């Protein structure tokens, strides 16, 4: 695995001066993942926060080959680029290895782009799809997505007298990708650079379709101070509300916190959950804790049984 000194010598994929929000986790994920590739990279980016903030005409913050596509078709677009590359290699027009990476937010991955993503994984294209997951449609106004956790306040499922935020638990997209029987699937956070870059390096070393789901807190939609982004991501890991693990050829490997903290420690750091602390909502937090504990135990059982 490359150390910090080696990573710092590689070409930066993003220039300074892009227009992401202060404290945004997306550029952190992009830089750390792409710097983990020893080979040239080609990037496809679905419409979303990352795209609109790095490619405002006539400016472009990317220093690597980059293609913007619509919200719903990052998987299909990159499949076509990768297929063209394989054809050029067969004809002897290209000899060097190139890594192909798609970035999509949770809206363009969990929901609008799920069919395209599933097709790319099922067809077996040699590419890495990265979901930079901020758990809502942040670019268009903080609407709920399939990745939004239960109890979170959003503009389309607001907390109020009728209900207390989103009623449903989030979709487990990482396990859906595991069900595609692809060579490598991982969940990570931006608060642990060594784990994230190690997983990215491993993904780049494996031929075939790969998927990484990276939690990146959004200070605007979640409601916290910009400087707390990394600490909140680490709290998601410590409370197991966002398990960090990888599945390589069907074998699970789970990263475990030194001390598993109660979910309430994570919830109280963000304005999107502040309504849960009003009198009468204690049961909702208890239900969330119980569900986190159930899913954590289920994940540990998969690792133990090596299934």
Q: Cα separation of 167 and 154, whole Å? A: 11
Determine contact, residues 26/50, Cβ cutoff 8 Å. yes
Tokens of 100: 């192909």
Kindly report, residue by residue over 57-110, the tens digit of the pLDDT: 899 999 999 999 999 999 999 999 999 999 999 999 999 999 999 999 999 999
At 136, is the secondary structure helix, strand, or coil? coil
CA atoms 134, 135, 137, 143: torsion sign: negative
- Compute the average pLDDT of residues 8-13: 88
DSSP 249: T
Q: What is the mean pLDDT of residues 6-28?
A: 90
At residue 17 the predicted structure's pLDDT band, cuts being 50, 70 and 90, is confident
Q: Which of 54-63, 114-123, 227-236 has the lowest mean pLDDT?
A: 54-63
Q: For residue 58, is the peptide bond before it cis, meaning its omega torsion is within 30 degrees of 0?
A: yes
Neighbours of 21 (CB within 10 A): 17
Tens digit of each residue's pLDDT (9 = 90 or more) over 241-277: 999 999 999 999 999 999 999 999 999 999 999 999 9
The pLDDT-based confidence of 8 (bands split at 50, 70, 90) is confident
| pLDDT at residue 118, rounded to an integer | 98
Q: What pLDDT is stored for residue 87 in this prediction?
A: 97
pLDDT in tens, 185-222: 999 999 999 999 999 999 999 999 999 999 999 999 99
Domains and CATH numbers, the chain: 4-305 (3.40.50.970)
- Please give the pLDDT value at position 215: 98
pLDDT of residue 307 exceeding 70:
no
Q: What percent of the chain has pLDDT over 90?
A: 93
Nearest to 78 by CA among 98, 107, 59, 52: 98
Per-residue confidence (pLDDT) for residue 173, from 0 to 100: 98
**Tokens 């299909």 identify what position?**
76
Strands 66-69 and 99-105, bridge-based pairing: unpaired
pLDDT of residue 227: 96
Q: Mind giving me the DSSP string for 36-88?
A: T-SS-EEEEEESSHHHHHH--TT---B-S-EEEE-TT-HHHHHHHHHHHHHHH
Q: What DSSP line would sit under 171-240, residue for residue?
A: P-HHHHHHTTT-SEEEEEETT-HHHHHHHHHHHHHS-S-EEEEEE---IIIII--GGGHHHHHHHHHHTT
Q: What is the pLDDT of residue 304?
A: 85
Residue 9 pLDDT > 90, yes or no? Answer: no
Q: Name the pLDDT band for 131 (thresholds 50, 70, 90).
A: very high
CA distance 199 to 193: 10
What is 3-43 written as a DSSP string?
-HHHHHTSPPSB-TT--PPTT-SHHHHHHHHHHT-SS-EEE
Strand partners, 213: 131, 187
Per-residue pLDDT at 66: 97
pTM: predicted TM-score of the whole model, two decimal places: 0.96
> What percent of the chain is predicted at pLDDT more than 70?
99
pLDDT confidence of residue 306: 61
At 11 the pLDDT is 87
């Amino acid at each position: 695995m490359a150390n910090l000194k080696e990573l710092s010598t590689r070409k930066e994929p993003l220039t300074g001066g892009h227009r992401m929000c202060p404290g945004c986790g997306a550029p952190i994920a992009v830089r750390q993942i792409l710097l983990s590739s020893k080979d040239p990279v080609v990037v496809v980016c679905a419409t979303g926060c990352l795209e609109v903030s790095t490619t405002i005409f006539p400016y472009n913050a990317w220093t690597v080959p980059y293609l913007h596509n619509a919200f719903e078709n990052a998987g299909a677009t990159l499949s076509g680029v990768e297929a063209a590359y394989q054809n050029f290699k067969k004809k002897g027009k290209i000899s060097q290895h190139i890594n192909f990476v798609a970035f999509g937010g949770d809206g363009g991955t969990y929901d609008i782009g799920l069919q395209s993503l599933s097709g790319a994984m099922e067809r077996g294209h040699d590419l890495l799809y990265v979901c930079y997951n901020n758990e809502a449609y942040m670019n268009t106004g903080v609407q709920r997505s399939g990745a939004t956790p239960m109890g979170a306040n959003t503009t389309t499922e607001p907390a109020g007298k009728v209900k207390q935020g989103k009623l449903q638990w989030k979709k487990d997209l990482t396990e859906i990708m595991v069900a595609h029987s692809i060579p490598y699937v991982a969940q990570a956070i931006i608060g642990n650079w060594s784990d994230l870059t190690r997983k990215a390096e491993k993904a780049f070393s494996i031929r075939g379709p790969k998927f990484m789901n990276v939690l990146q807190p959004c200070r605007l939609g979640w409601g916290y101070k910009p400087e707390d982004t990394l600490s909140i991501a680490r709290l998601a890991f410590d409370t197991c509300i966002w398990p960090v693990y990888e599945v390589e050829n069907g074998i699970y490997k789970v990263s475990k916190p030194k001390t598993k903290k109660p979910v309430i420690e994570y919830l109280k750091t963000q304005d999107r959950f502040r309504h849960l602390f009003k009198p009468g909502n204690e049961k909702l937090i208890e239900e969330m804790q119980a569900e986190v504990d159930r899913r954590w135990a289920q994940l540990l059982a998969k690792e133990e049984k090596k299934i």
